[in-house]
Amino acid sequence: MRLGVLDIGSNTGHLLVVDAHRGAAPLPAYSHKEPLRLAENLEDDELTQTGIKALTKFVADAVVVAEDKGAQDMLGFATSAVRDARNSDAVLEHVAARTGVRIGVLPGDDEARLTFLAVRRWFGWSAGRLAVFDIGGGSLEIAGGADEEPDVAWSIPLGAARLAREHFHDGNPDAATIRALRKKIRADIASDAGRLLRAGVPDVAAATSKTFRSLARISGAAPSIEGPLVDRVLSLASLEEWIPRLVDLGPEHLAELPGVSPSRTHQILPGALVAEAVMDIFDLPELQICPWALREGVILQRLDQLSGDAAP
Phi and psi at residue 40, in whole multiples of 5°? -95, 0
**Residue 311 pLDDT more than 60?**
no
CA distance 23 to 187: 41
For residues 133 and 100, membership in a common domain is answered with no
For residues 37 and 71, membership in a common domain is answered with yes
For residues 94 and 144, membership in a common domain is answered with no
For residues 145 and 94, membership in a common domain is answered with no
**pLDDT-based confidence at residue 172 (cuts at 50, 70, 90):** confident
**pLDDT-based confidence at residue 307 (cuts at 50, 70, 90):** low
Write out pLDDT tens, residues 38-83.
988 999 999 999 999 999 999 999 999 999 999 998 999 999 999 9
For residues 22 and 152, membership in a common domain is answered with no
Q: Is 31 within the bounds of a domain? A: yes
E strands present in the chain: 2-8, 12-19, 27-35, 42-43, 46-47, 73-78, 104-105, 130-135, 140-145, 152-156, 204-208, 233-235, 286-289
CA distance 247 to 261: 17
Q: Using CB atoms within 10 A of its CB, is residue 289 exposed (0-12), middle (13-18) or buried (19+)?
A: buried
| pLDDT for the residue numbered 242 | 97
Q: Is 303 within the bounds of a domain? A: no
| pLDDT for the residue numbered 312 | 46
Q: Where residue 83 sits, what CATH number does that domain have?
A: 3.30.420.40
Q: Is 138 within the bounds of a domain? A: yes
Nearest alpha-carbon partner for 269 in 240, 239, 243, 241 = 243
> Which of residues 46, 73, 105 is at a domain's end?
105
For residues 55 and 94, membership in a common domain is answered with yes
Tally of domains within the chain: 2
Instruction: Give the domain range for residue 244.
Output: 108-294
Q: Is 304 within the bounds of a domain? A: no
Q: Is 210 within the bounds of a domain? A: yes
